[in-house]
Structure 1
Amino acid sequence: MTVYHFIGIKGSGMSALAQILSDMQFDVQGSDVEKVFFTQKPLEKKGIPLLPFKKENIRENQTIIASPAYNEENEEIREANDQNIKVHQYPTFLGEFIQQFTSIAVTGSHGKTSTTGLMAHVLQDAKPTSYLIGDGTGKGEKESEYFVFEACEYRRHFLHYNPDYAIMTNIDFDHPDYFKDVNDVFQAFQEMAMQVNKAIIACGDDEYLQKLNAQVPVLYYGLNEDNDFYAKDIKTDEEGTHFDVYVRSSFYGNFTIPGYGTHNVMNALAVIALCHYEQVELEVVQKQLNTFEGVKRRFSEKEFGSQVLIDDYAHHPTEISATIESAKQKYPNKEVVAIFQPHTFTRTKTFLDEFAESLKLADRVYLCDIFSSAREQSGDLTIDDLIERVPGSELIKEETIQHLLKHENAVLLFMGAGDVQKFQAAYEQSVEKEGA
């Protein structure tokens, strides 16, 4: 029997795909560096062997899937080439794998992970559904009809896929180390649109997505009433956000989601539109939207004395604004304190002024040193360049993290795509030590 061997199994997409194949009763193993990543916990839970990189791991009866992070410098890839065993790149393998299902690619500059998780949560109550989420979560159903997956635009990886449906949440300039400008990003999405087989569900409130050309129907959703699907009468209370949905000006139904902020309403509209197109029953969609608990590192909350600690992946100005908006809507009587770790010098430099503007929405701002990879050069940029642009902000380190204690009735938002979680961990430990 074929064994699936994953080179770089701890990558978020790789880990999720390994879980899916394991759930479908295939033999799965993988190798990676010794460092511990959060993505390995679900692999260990499923009993998937995790090995250190070694050429001896490569055998003839394997289907080898390699992370795009590794090339022929990796000893296992070299060994596979020496033995004439084909090495499937992760995006290529996934592109072929999805062809056996009704596939739904979820893409966009922001909101991919949350929308993928929400779509999977709703659909699995209607039909057997497998899904792959960019936070490292994967679930396989042996008799799946649907396959919902996050399709990333970075380096145009999503052009490996020809899905039945594509959900496009928005287009924004990000990944400045790869894309030249927002028009370059749009061009990538335009190429993706031409590869979709059945229909595209796109945010009509996004000026770029309105310009899409496609060979399949494009259904638009948003808050604007000229969209095919739109939300009206949006209200919030302690239970979440309530809104009415109209389909081409006809009332369709009332929905409640546990989340807050306009972006969460938009994500829900995308799911409602696809489910309507696929004729999923209204009651199923209403029930499932109301019971979604979120995905990893997206507004993950924890009560901590009189404070609420929130861990969020926000690392782009648009995402920071959305996260702060959610916190203010959910906790109108608490101070909202942002603790932000910028991710990469390239992104920080490109969006310096935009970061400052989005952070000013918080009541108080603390900034951590810029997180970057070993390969990246800092140039002449430091965290001080951002501190100067945000009045009243200050640098915070693990050693000075207890400064956050003075914000008694507050929401502490730990935001970033690097290792900002270590600051939250250090804060929790310092408070517990004081209380000991």
Structure 2
Amino acid sequence: MEFSNVYFLGIGGIGMSALARFFLHEGKRVAGYDRTESPLCDRLAAEGAEIHYDESVDRIPEVFRDPAETIVVYTPAVPQDHAELVWFRGRGFRVEKRSQMLGHLSAGKFVMAVAGTHGKTTTSTLIAWLNRAACGTGSAFLGGISKNFDSNLVLGAGRRLAVEADEFDRSFLRLDPDVAVVTSADADHLDIYGTHEAVREAFSQFIGRIRPGGALVIKQGLDLKIDNPGIAVYRYSYDEPCDFYAKNVRLIEGGHYRYDLVTPDCVLADCTLGVPGWVNIENSVAAAAALWCAAKRDGGSFDPERIREALASFAGVKRRFEFYVNTPRQVYMDDYAHHPRELAAAITSVKRMFPGRRLTALFQPHLYTRTRDLYAEFAEALSHADEAVLLPIYPAREEPIEGVTSEMIASRVTVPCTVVAREELARHVERMATDVVVSFGAGNIDACCEALAAILSKRG
């Protein structure tokens, strides 16, 4: 691109940090603002980015103050009256959303995009790993830190580009996929969309952006409008017979599974995914389907043996079914689940992994609006556990809403449930009799993981 400097507003976000890392790799000067310091920000700073944490025009480095040399990228989570955003706009800088920039960078690529209100991070990361391990090709912009790549940015040979297509603020409508996967389209981000039907309409618009001759891989049973006849449409599921599914699924050691992966023209027998949980089998089916479709369209190969080996070596995504303690007497895991359907799937998956054992769910609700809109569904999901502990709502970009609290959820949970402050969580769990413990949430509950692991590991 024609500019030398890239300034990020919200540089510490998982999607923004991948873009920042890309431009650092391209030799651009990178700087930016974020509200809070984080490990992602620390890594970017170590790689050469200049980052500050107070909203102040005075903190913008001098070299980034020339509109002829600097482009500004912001996340929609940054308010429109943010002092630095207002300053850049008022002085004629080119200012773009993260989704616009991702759209620019995907031009000329063979885009493999994964959309869904849940499941998209693991599925897109699986696609990136299958591209690399089974096909030796591909780059990726991911919504989580891949354990195989130790990054949310993958740079590789060839035209394939795996991306997580985010529905927040309709960001995914900037992409034109060659292969699109849709994992789910549940009610979410209703503060933006208003209604579930508007969410579904946005996903239909995303499907409509698939390039002619491309392919859609969509979850079996998901009913969305598909108006582009020039694409191939395939259905996938966990174990329901359709175009792509798993059969002969059997639980093996450590919560892992062995299964046969069925495609339209072959069966990959005795697959073992490198991460546990039945929900990840479903994600692996979707990812393998995307690779199969890509091979039909870009001339690549779909080698069953190499796909099988790549599935086995997949190490997962940080904060997705991440084990901290795993002994016969005590298990502790952490997971990013923050939507009711996602939370219910994760809890039932853990229950299947450890049959007959007692599950304690630790959950931090994310966003006041999501809690307001879905508190009954959250309570229903948490009631699948044997006991629940809730933290106060993590606000992220939002201001509090009067009357909206974690107690709205707790009062409807049908198993023993308490609400504690985040600072008290580890001490509270220390006093509990526990067996299998999982912490859930997209806020800052992960800051408790090391303390929880230290306490619970003593019981193993």
Per the TM superposition, whether the score is higher than 0.5 is yes
Q: Which residue of structure 1 lines up, in the alignment, with residue 118 of structure 2?
A: 110
Percent of matched pairs sharing the same residue: 27
State whether residues 179 and 217 of structure 2, in contact with CA within 8 Å, keep that contact through their aligned partners in structure 1.
no
Please say if 1:283 is aligned against 2:305. yes
State whether residues 310 and 412 of structure 1, in contact with CA within 8 Å, keep that contact through their aligned partners in structure 2.
yes
- Secondary structure of residue in 1 paired with 2:190: coil
Q: Which residue of structure 2 lines up, in the alignment, with residue 183 of structure 1?
A: 197
In structure 2, do the counterparts of structure 1 residues 64 and 400 end up closer, same or farther at CA, with 3 Å as the change threshold? Answer: closer
State whether residues 20 and 138 of structure 1, in contact with CA within 8 Å, keep that contact through their aligned partners in structure 2.
no
Of the structure 1 ranges 319-328 and 244-253, higher mean CA displacement relative to structure 2 is found in: 244-253
In structure 2, do the counterparts of structure 1 residues 428 and 226 end up closer, same or farther at CA, with 3 Å as the change threshold? Answer: closer
Give per-residue Cα distances to partners, 1:167-217, cap 9 Å, x unaligned. Answer: 1111111112122332211110111111111433333423324x4333311
In structure 2, do the counterparts of structure 1 residues 98 and 387 end up closer, same or farther at CA, with 3 Å as the change threshold? Answer: same
| Of 142, 158, 164, the match for 1:133 | 142
Please say if 1:349 is aligned against 2:372. yes
Q: Which residue of structure 2 lines up, in the alignment, with residue 58 of structure 1?
A: 65
In structure 2, do the counterparts of structure 1 residues 399 and 192 end up closer, same or farther at CA, with 3 Å as the change threshold? Answer: closer
TM-score by length of 1: 0.89
Q: Which residue of structure 2 lines up, in the alignment, with residue 393 of structure 1?
A: 417
Give per-residue Cα distances to partners, 1:122-171, cap 9 Å, x unaligned. Answer: 10121332111112643343644211111111121111111222111111
State whether residues 3 and 61 of structure 1, in contact with CA within 8 Å, keep that contact through their aligned partners in structure 2.
yes
Give per-residue Cα distances to partners, 1:261-310, cap 9 Å, x unaligned. Answer: 33211111111112122133222211111111111211121028853322
Give RMSD over aligned pairs: 2.8
- Deviation for aligned residue 1:422: 3.6
Of the structure 1 ranges 100-109 and 179-188, higher mean CA displacement relative to structure 2 is found in: 179-188
Give per-residue Cα distances to partners, 1:325-366, cap 9 Å, x unaligned. Answer: 232233335421101111222222222222122111112111
| Of 146, 161, 173, the match for 1:147 | 161
- Deviation for aligned residue 1:92: 1.0
- Deviation for aligned residue 1:405: 2.7
- Deviation for aligned residue 1:20: 2.4
In structure 2, do the counterparts of structure 1 residues 288 and 378 end up closer, same or farther at CA, with 3 Å as the change threshold? Answer: same
- Secondary structure of residue in 1 paired with 2:288: helix
Please say if 1:241 is aligned against 2:266. no
Aligned length: 432
State whether residues 129 and 310 of structure 2, in contact with CA within 8 Å, keep that contact through their aligned partners in structure 1.
yes
In structure 2, do the counterparts of structure 1 residues 113 and 183 end up closer, same or farther at CA, with 3 Å as the change threshold? Answer: same
- Deviation for aligned residue 1:317: 1.3
| Of 212, 225, 228, the match for 2:226 | 212
Q: Which residue of structure 2 lines up, in the alignment, with residue 123 of structure 1?
A: 131
- Secondary structure of residue in 1 paired with 2:107: helix
Q: Which residue of structure 1 lines up, in the alignment, with residue 440 of structure 2?
A: 415
Of the structure 1 ranges 242-251 and 294-303, higher mean CA displacement relative to structure 2 is found in: 242-251
Please list, as runs of the form range in 1=range in 2, the aligned pairs for 1:23-42 lying within 5 A after superposition. 23=25, 25-33=26-34, 35-42=36-43
Please list, as runs of the form range in 1=range in 2, the aligned pairs for 1:305-316 lying within 5 A after superposition. 306-316=329-339
Q: Which one-letter code corresponds to 1:38 in the other structure?
A: P
In structure 2, do the counterparts of structure 1 residues 337 and 141 end up closer, same or farther at CA, with 3 Å as the change threshold? Answer: same
Please say if 1:87 is aligned against 2:95. yes
Q: Distance in 2 between matches of 1:430 and 1:10?
A: 29
State whether residues 139 and 157 of structure 2, in contact with CA within 8 Å, keep that contact through their aligned partners in structure 1.
no
- Secondary structure of residue in 2 paired with 1:203: strand
- Deviation for aligned residue 1:110: 0.8
In structure 2, do the counterparts of structure 1 residues 319 and 375 end up closer, same or farther at CA, with 3 Å as the change threshold? Answer: closer
- Secondary structure of residue in 1 paired with 2:197: helix
Give 5+ residue unaligned stretches, structure 2.
146-150, 296-300
Q: Which residue of structure 1 lines up, in the alignment, with residue 298 of structure 2?
A: none
- Secondary structure of residue in 2 paired with 1:20: helix
Q: Distance in 2 between matches of 1:380 and 1:84?
A: 42
Q: Distance in 2 between matches of 1:326 and 1:120?
A: 24
TM-score by length of 2: 0.85
- Deviation for aligned residue 1:314: 1.0
Please say if 1:272 is aligned against 2:274. no
Q: Distance in 2 between matches of 1:70 and 1:351?
A: 24
- Secondary structure of residue in 2 paired with 1:149: strand
Q: Distance in 1 between matches of 2:452 and 2:268?
A: 46
Please say if 1:405 is aligned against 2:430. yes
Q: Which residue of structure 2 lines up, in the alignment, with residue 254 of structure 1?
A: 270
Q: Which residue of structure 1 lines up, in the alignment, with residue 352 of structure 2?
A: 329
In structure 2, do the counterparts of structure 1 residues 127 and 422 end up closer, same or farther at CA, with 3 Å as the change threshold? Answer: closer
Q: Distance in 1 between matches of 2:455 and 2:323?
A: 19
Q: Which residue of structure 2 lines up, in the alignment, with residue 48 of structure 1?
A: 49
In structure 2, do the counterparts of structure 1 residues 29 and 260 end up closer, same or farther at CA, with 3 Å as the change threshold? Answer: same
Q: Which one-letter code corresponds to 1:15 in the other structure?
A: S
Give per-residue Cα distances to partners, 1:203-260, cap 9 Å, x unaligned. Answer: 3423324x43333111211146552112211111116211112233853443211334
Q: Which residue of structure 1 lines up, in the alignment, with residue 20 of structure 2?
A: 18
Give per-residue Cα distances to partners, 1:69-99, cap 9 Å, x unaligned. Answer: 3466445444544553322322112112101
Give 5+ residue unaligned stretches, structure 1.
none
Please say if 1:367 is aligned against 2:375. no
Q: Distance in 1 between matches of 2:266 and 2:306?
A: 20
